[in-house]
Amino acid sequence: MSTQTSGLAIETSGLVKTFGGTRAVDGVDLAVPSGTVYGLLGPNGAGKTTTVKMLATLLRPDGGEARVFGLDVLHEADEVRGRVSLTGQYASVDEDLTGTENLVLLGRLLGHGKRGARERAARLLAAFGLTDAAAKQVKQYSGGMRRRIDIAASILNTPDLLFLDEPTAGLDPRSRNQVWDIVRAVVAQGTTVLLTTQYLDEADQLAARIAVIDKGRVIAEGTKGELKASVGAGSVHLRLRDAGQRLLAADLLGRVLDARVQPEPDPLALTARLGTAAGEATAAGQAARALDELARAGVVVDNFSLGQPSLDEVFLALTGHGAHDLRDGSEDEVAA
């Protein structure tokens, strides 16, 4: 099959979808290698779900081309459907049925025998930590359990390509980690995953390559290393003992780190954005040096943390403006 020759699970060129006057997807080119997690990173309304729906043959493109394992999503839609599965912002499981009932029903629909469907359901529920909840109606599940059963349902028949549309939105850190482990396990079995997310750290955790999408366009693409190199190494957050030392601290950090220093609404807090020159490995070293200098200058630091760049920082670096729906009031530079 042409799929293996190109090694690409997804290939789009100039993909377009318009809704009335809105170009929701505005000329997207993607090349997603097989057997990897590919991250589609962007804020609300960027066009992530619309792109996924076109690739999953649920929406008709208005322009451009899209192939899944070499198959045209428009002209070979049935073949595409046979190889993909989708978990997303829309439901696939029945809230009134139990976890077991849902998975058995879907297994039967996919052509498994009664016994095979039961066995597979039990195995998936166990793998996803849902054995205790197997006999409960899905409407009684927590958000994290719900997300896990959604993914379980979508990999009943191991798909070649799995679309995960914001699989961890709204989950607590523990549930997020469980979903991430599941994604890793799915990929280890050979499935390609197209993951949409609004979180850079999620794309960073899971994806080999990332496309940053904004207003229907890909504004950056590359390995996460390449992306981070263009964005910067992250931020240093400080909380001081004495608000009167904040200007001194800001001045010092600005010099030592060659960073943009911003005040926080909290009068004791400061954020310094590390420059793009600081690689991941050196960010911690730079921060340590800055702490050293602060101590020497007599600035008392009560709390310190080193954070990865946020999506907003990625957008700021790439476009000169923040993610268009992520506004906060702390963008002003420290007035010296």
Ligand X SMILES: Nc1ncnc2c1ncn2[C@@H]1O[C@H](COP(=O)(O)OP(=O)(O)OP(=O)(O)O)[C@@H](O)[C@H]1O
Binding site for ligand X (CB under 6 A): 19, 22, 24, 42, 44-50, 89, 198
Structure tokens at 168: 């961890």
Place of tokens 């009664």: 114
Instruction: Give Cα separations from 172 to 142, 289, 303, 310 (angstroms).
Output: 11, 33, 23, 18
Piece of 24-32, 41-49, 73-81, 144-152 that binds Mg ion (CB under 5 A): 41-49
Minimum gap (Å) between residue 148 Cβ and ligand X = 20
Q: Which partner from the list ligand X, Mg ion, none does 19 bind, CB cut-off 5 to 8 Å by kind?
A: ligand X
Residue in 334, 320, 302, 312 with CA at minimum distance from that of residue 235: 312
**CA-to-CA distance for 101 and 109, rounded, in angstroms?**
12
Q: Which partner from the list Mg ion, ligand X, none does 3 bind, CB cut-off 5 to 8 Å by kind?
A: none
Of 49 and 175, which CB lies nearer to ligand X in the complex structure? 49
Of 48 and 246, which CB lies nearer to ligand X in the complex structure? 48
Minimum gap (Å) between residue 142 Cβ and ligand X = 21
Structure tokens at 332: 């002003």
Residue in 63, 88, 49, 58 with CA at minimum distance from that of residue 213: 49
Piece of 44-52, 136-144, 208-216, 251-259 that binds Mg ion (CB under 5 A): 44-52
The helix (run of H) or strand (run of E) holding residue 68 is: strand 63-68
The helix (run of H) or strand (run of E) holding residue 187 is: helix 173-188
DSSP 179: H
Minimum gap (Å) between residue 194 Cβ and Mg ion = 13
Of 49 and 191, which CB lies nearer to Mg ion in the complex structure? 49
Minimum gap (Å) between residue 287 Cβ and ligand X = 32
Place of tokens 């789009």: 12
Q: Which partner from the list Mg ion, ligand X, none does 45 bind, CB cut-off 5 to 8 Å by kind?
A: ligand X
Minimum gap (Å) between residue 277 Cβ and ligand X = 32
Piece of 15-23, 46-54, 151-159, 255-263 that binds Mg ion (CB under 5 A): 46-54
Instruction: Say if CB 306 and CB 234 are below 8 A apart.
Output: yes
Residues in 83-112 at the binding interface with Mg ion, rule: CB under 5 A: none
Minimum gap (Å) between residue 289 Cβ and Mg ion = 41
Task: Please select the residue that binds Mg ion; options are 12, 49, 154, 192, rule is CB under 5 A.
Answer: 49
Piece of 49-57, 69-77, 114-122, 328-336 that binds Mg ion (CB under 5 A): 49-57
Binding residues for Mg ion, per CB under 5 A?
48-49
